[in-house]
Homo-oligomer: A and B are copies of this chain.
């Protein structure tokens, strides 16, 4: 069984594993107040060029999103997100559980624009309507698409001119940064956003994300917010240890190497299937591929491959989501392509 189900279907990348193993017998203080977390935070500050930012090691992406939103917003304030955004569609109303509305915005390719944000903001006129205050977006988006530097810059400028925080969900950020089409750096993100996170869970870590808060307003008593949410890990150093392993070495660090490989294997799928005339549900240049295949072929392929069906079948065809992970290989991608080739032959 070959797995393109998700980028969190295996454990930790062996180099991450080694770091955990080597530090396993150390005694440290809990809750992220240890030397590993401090070192890892330092690596991040260097990478993004913001020595004064705050770094919090978080147990998962939803925890990042919910804690940032809880910390940033006053009770009557709201979040603007793409209607396909993770915080809107895949977190079970977690934002609402903190008392805040997520205003869903039409976003055909999963991307917000200053115009669509302005549209969402235009409804917030007086004390009878929630006040939009934070823009939530993902890089890459849920559909694997990317914001170009010019696009993110325009959004950031709009947000600053209109009193909005900009928060970027980076669950798969490394795959964005290493995509061919990418023209944004980590320091760009640090300049353009008020907060964002570097995803570990979907990029080689056993679990954990590194949340970066640039804007001090959001960071005020942030650890209280995390503890109160039930997501502050007792052995917090585990996440620090992993990010030390992932981020050491600057531009050649493991975190980016893993992503490059994931993108490369995804590219084999994309090009291979494309050359067979297969169309795609979304135009993703990162580690997610959304081929549309005949329903019957998909049924047969389930015997050998493990993947998501992304949308309901239409006209006998169904869109899949294939995701490559740190352990995915070129051979696995080749096998998938050649099985489709055989299946499509007349």
Contact = CB atoms under 8 A, between A and B. Distances in A.
Interface of A: 1, 3, 5-6, 8-12, 17, 20-21, 23-31, 59-63, 65-67, 70-71, 74-76, 78, 89-94, 96-102, 104, 123, 127-131, 201-202, 206-207, 220-221, 223-235, 238, 306, 327
A25 B9 contact: no
A150 to B, nearest CB: 30
A228 B97 contact: yes
The 6 closest A-B pairs by CB, nearest first: A11-B24, A76-B224, A3-B27, A93-B130, A127-B223, A92-B228
Q: Tell me how many chains of this kind the complex includes.
A: 4
15 contacts: A9-B28, A11-B26, A11-B235, A11-B238, A60-B233, A65-B230, A75-B98, A78-B93, A93-B100, A93-B130, A94-B229, A96-B96, A104-B104, A127-B223, A201-B234
B207 A238 contact: yes
B228 A231 contact: no
Nearest to A224: B76
Contact of A228 (B23, B91, B232, B235): B91
Contacts of A233: 59-60, 207
Which of A228, A230, A234 has the most chain B CB within a 10 Å cutoff? A230
Contacts of A75: 70-71, 97-98, 224-225, 228
A27 B230 CA distance: 28
Contacts of A206: 235, 238
A59 B231 contact: yes
A17 B24 contact: yes
